[in-house]
Structure formats: structure tokens, C-alpha cells
Amino acid sequence: MGQRAYEILPNKILLEGFEFSKNTPLDAIFYAPNTPPILDANRSISIWVIPDFNTSNYINPQEGAPHFKLVLATTVLSDYTYSTSIKKYEPVNDVENETNGIAFSSEIPLGGMVGSDTTLVVDLGFGAALLATVGVVNAIGIIFYKEINSQFYELASDNALRISTIG
């Protein structure tokens, strides 16, 4: 009772689409045509390709934000089982669990075409295929920036991040 194992991949539907900010869902801010991130055969490398697009047509920017970055955050989550001897949940794959990486685009100015496809890649560094007892979580998002004296500063609100895929 209350000690069931939690399996990531069979339950991925519960997490996919999760918005990290209920006030700023990603689709309300960034809606350029793109496909979800894909994983290589080992599930070690995540790739998100966003075809060139017009930022004036596909981004609803935060007021006063002249630039943005796209972001791909990838992490490995293990299945968990309950250990009766220590009376707590433990990861099935402790070594791989919580391995993560993040990729950012360069600062992209708002207004007009990006100028090329944007490709974000996160390499988790695994040499062999990951076991089915872990899920690789890909979150995608957008962060707005202001430029002051040639330095970019992240704006505090209206950024968005969503769990896109789990594979």
C-alpha cells in the first residue's frame, strides 16, 4: 500500500506537455513550426531542430524584450522502487539517474527572420544504449533578454518551458 514502483516510460503521458509556468504556456509565446526533439538510438543525444522562421509572426514577446534564446533541457529519470529495508524510494538506475544537459541558441533578435535553422543538441555522454528502466526527458522553451552595454540580461517574467517528449 503506497509502495508501488514508479515507471517513467510506461507513464510518460502523465508528464509530457507539463508546463513549468501555468501563467505562460510555451504555445502562447512561441509557436513557430517545429517538431519535437528526437533521440539517437542509444537515447544519449537529444536534437531539436527549429526551421528558420519570422520572429514577428511566431513569437509573442515580453514587452521590452529585443532578444530571445531557445532552450533544450534534457535529463535522465530512473524508475523508482520502494525499499522496505530503508523505508524510502530508490532509483533503479542510480548511475544514470539525473544525468542532464542543456543547450541554448545564441541570442536572436526579435523582428524579422531568424536567418537559418536553429539546431540545439544535448549529448549526455553515454556510450551504450540506456536501459528501459530510465526515461530521457526533453524540455523545450524560450527565454527573453535585454541588451545593456553589449551584455545580455535575462528578463524575469514571461519565459516558458514545457516537457516536450520522454523517450
Answering whether pTM is above 0.85, one says yes
- Domain-located, residue 145: yes
What is the percent of the chain where pLDDT is above 70?
Answer: 99
- Domain-located, residue 2: no
Per-residue pLDDT, averaged over 15-23, amounts to 93
User: Which residue, chain included where needed, has cell 524510502?
Assistant: 88
Grid coordinates belonging to 81? 522502487
Asked whether residue 45 carries a pLDDT value surpassing 70, the answer given is: yes
pLDDT of residue 1: 52
- Domain-located, residue 73: yes
- Domain-located, residue 91: yes
CA distance 150 to 30: 25
Per-residue pLDDT, averaged over 135-159, amounts to 90
Q: Which tens digit of pLDDT belongs to each residue from 52-80? A: 999 999 999 988 899 999 999 999 999 99
The total number of structural domains that make up the chain? 1
- Domain-located, residue 74: yes
Pairing status of strand 108-109 against strand 67-78? antiparallel
* Owning domain of residue 114: 9-166
- Domain-located, residue 49: yes
